[in-house]
Structure 1
Amino acid sequence: MALITISGYPSSGKSRRASQIKAHLETRLADQSYDGPKLKVSVISDDTLDVGRDAYGDSKSEKPARGALFTAMQRQMGQDTILIVDGLNYIKGFRYQMYCAAREHKLRVCTVYVVATHDLCREWNSTRTDDRAYKTETLENLLVRFEEPSSMVRWDSPLFIILWEEEDVPADEIWKAITAGNVKAPHAGTQVVEKAPMDALHTLEHTTTSIVSSIMTSQASSSLGGPTILAISATLKLNITLPARNITLSELQRYKRQFVTVHKKAITLGSTEKGTVDWDEENVAKKFVDYLEERMKP
């Protein structure tokens, strides 16, 4: 349904804002006037994943921490869920990665930037007594490295900025963004590609070989050129129009190699054509016959 990305300095009050947003959304969903689909609101964070603040002390431990958050996010994404990701999310490349995952699942998105001054973050971090405080060196490093969200880039938009002095979140605007905002379709970089079946390569090679053999057999037993019926297998026969000349085996083998090379790439990488590509014997045979008719000249 939707992904809400929380971003902000360490110890800036992000979890408080995430809780406020969750409470507002659940109230609206429970209201009698709400007549939309049944939805649940979920929050994931370092705390829910048991990722300690010391994970951000160096790059070696920080990378798997971000990976755990991203994996949990992907696992909970769905059309029945409003997912709030409560984390630092301070690297724009990581926010872009989250945005791409949301597009792949056809979710609406928005970003909430929780703003507090450096001094306030230091103060609030020093007063924590729940074992969730950052070490001073780690805190200072994260403050310097923070990459601020921007409404000018698509992966941070729509962007809602909440200052430390504000009592509540812009619930109406967030609600509108996640229930009435545009759903951006997946593009080639994020779209799940349909893979070919396991026996596609065998079918491709076997079918094209059978067609080459059938053409050579037909040519040896009948007059040259014109409409010809190819017996590709016991159950499959196709029509082909052959040129009025002798077609050599080397010529057919060349066309076969070209055809197989192109379609091997499609099988390996997934469909490269519009729509679904069928890899059964009949469809492969029809494609190869069309390919030959286009290339064999009189």
Structure 2
Amino acid sequence: MALITITGYPSSGKSKRAQQLKEYLEDKLADPEYHGPTLKVVILSDDNLNLARSVYDESRSEKPARGTLFSAVQRQMGQDTILIMDSLNYIKGFRYQMYCAAREMKIRVCTVYVVAKPELCREWNSEREEGSTKYSAETLDNLLQRYEEPSSMVRWDSPLFTVLWTDESPPNEDIWKAVTEGLVKPPNVGTQSVPKAPSDTLHILEHTTTAIVSAIMAHQSATQGLSLGGPTTLNVSPGLNVSIDLPARALTLSEVQRYKRSFVTVHKKAMTIGTAEKGVVDLTEDAVSRKFVEYLEENMGP
């Protein structure tokens, strides 16, 4: 249904705002005047995933922690859930990653930016008891310097709602409208998964094109230049014959090999990114032979 990304400085009060928002949304869903779909509100945070603040001490521990967070986000997202992602979310690339996952799931998104002065964050962090929810002073300062502020000008942070440390509560009504009435952006090329070619496709591609090149040269050798050009049937392999319109001149092996390399290069790239034929990967022996013949006829000339 929706993903709400909470972001802000460490120890800026993000969890408090997430809980305020959860309570408001649950009250709205329980209101007799609400007649929409049955929804649940879920908060996902470092705490309920048992990620101590010490994971942010070093990059080698922070990276797998973000992977854990992202995997949990993907599991929790759904059409029956308003998911509140309560974590640092201080890297714009990570926010973009979650935005893409939400688009793929066809759910609404919004970002809540919790603002507090750095000196307040240090004060509130120092008041916490030693344990999993407290940052070391060095880590806190490092995260404050590295924080990447959200912007309403970029699509993955929009719509963006800002909550100051002096505000009593988030702009709950505006957030409610965003997650229940906002635009659902469809998946695009960047967020859609596309089918990949079968693992043996490269072998089929190389083997079939090589066989066609050999068949062309064998045909020329067999005719000894007496019958050049025109429609010709080539025996490529047992059970596979192809028809090709050859030019009225002798073809050299180096020329045909050059066409083969060009053709194979293009289709290797399509196999790698999974976008052959706009996502439809059909590189069977029959398909490869047909496409290669068409490619040769277009490029060999008269």
- Give how far 1:78 is off: 4.0
- Give how far 1:197 is off: 0.5
**1:112 aligned partner:** 112
One-letter identity of the residue aligned with 1:264: K
> Aligned match of 1:276 in 280, 289, 294?
280
Q: 1:223 to 1:146 in 2, by over 3 A?
A: closer
Residues 28 and 34 of structure 1 are in contact (CA less than 8 Å); yes or no, is this contact kept in structure 2? no
Q: What is the distance in 1 between the residues matched to 2:71 and 2:279?
A: 29
1:267 partnered with 2:268: no
One-letter identity of the residue aligned with 2:233: I
**2:290 aligned partner:** 286
1:209 partnered with 2:210: yes
1:72 partnered with 2:72: yes
1:253 partnered with 2:257: yes
RMSD of equivalent CA atoms: 3.0
Q: What is the distance in 1 between the residues matched to 2:119 and 2:166?
A: 14
- Give how far 1:174 is off: 1.6
One-letter identity of the residue aligned with 1:72: A
Q: 1:215 to 1:62 in 2, by over 3 A?
A: closer
Q: 1:286 to 1:78 in 2, by over 3 A?
A: farther
What TM-score comes out, normalization by structure 2 length? Answer: 0.82
1:142 partnered with 2:160: no
Residues 40 and 82 of structure 1 are in contact (CA less than 8 Å); yes or no, is this contact kept in structure 2? yes
Residues 267 and 276 of structure 2 are in contact (CA less than 8 Å); yes or no, is this contact kept in structure 1? no
1:56-88 deviations in Å (ceiling 9; x for gaps): 334444343333323332343444443221012
- Give how far 1:96 is off: 3.1
Gaps of 5+ in 2: none
**Greater CA drift, 285-294 or 183-192:** 183-192
1:198 partnered with 2:199: yes
Residues 194 and 279 of structure 2 are in contact (CA less than 8 Å); yes or no, is this contact kept in structure 1? no
- Give how far 1:292 is off: 0.6
Q: 1:121 to 1:296 in 2, by over 3 A?
A: closer
1:4 partnered with 2:23: no
Secondary structure of the corresponding residue to residue 34 of structure 1: coil
Q: What is the distance in 2 between the residues matched to 1:238 and 1:150?
A: 58
**Greater CA drift, 69-78 or 4-13:** 69-78
Q: 1:176 to 1:231 in 2, by over 3 A?
A: farther
Q: What is the distance in 2 between the residues matched to 1:27 and 1:233?
A: 70
Q: 1:224 to 1:72 in 2, by over 3 A?
A: same
- Give how far 1:92 is off: 3.0
One-letter identity of the residue aligned with 1:15: S
Secondary structure of the corresponding residue to residue 245 of structure 1: coil
Query: Counterparts in 2 of 1:113-128, with a 5 A limit?
Result: 113-128=113-128
Residues 76 and 83 of structure 1 are in contact (CA less than 8 Å); yes or no, is this contact kept in structure 2? yes
What TM-score comes out, normalization by structure 1 length? Answer: 0.83
1:75-115 deviations in Å (ceiling 9; x for gaps): 43444443221012223343233334434444432110122
**1:179 aligned partner:** 180
One-letter identity of the residue aligned with 1:24: Y
Query: Counterparts in 2 of 1:45-64, with a 5 A limit?
Result: 45-64=45-64
One-letter identity of the residue aligned with 2:261: R
- Give how far 1:254 is off: 2.6
Secondary structure of the corresponding residue to residue 149 of structure 2: coil
- Give how far 1:291 is off: 0.3
- Give how far 1:162 is off: 1.7
1:167 partnered with 2:168: yes
- Give how far 1:28 is off: 4.3
Percent of residue pairs identical: 66
- Give how far 1:18 is off: 1.4
Secondary structure of the corresponding residue to residue 278 of structure 1: coil
Secondary structure of the corresponding residue to residue 113 of structure 2: strand
Q: 1:41 to 1:228 in 2, by over 3 A?
A: farther
Residues 196 and 271 of structure 1 are in contact (CA less than 8 Å); yes or no, is this contact kept in structure 2? no
- Give how far 1:189 is off: 4.8
**Greater CA drift, 276-285 or 257-266:** 257-266
**Greater CA drift, 226-235 or 273-282:** 226-235
Residues 4 and 112 of structure 2 are in contact (CA less than 8 Å); yes or no, is this contact kept in structure 1? yes
Secondary structure of the corresponding residue to residue 98 of structure 1: helix
- Give how far 1:149 is off: 2.1
1:248-279 deviations in Å (ceiling 9; x for gaps): 44432332222122222322333255241311
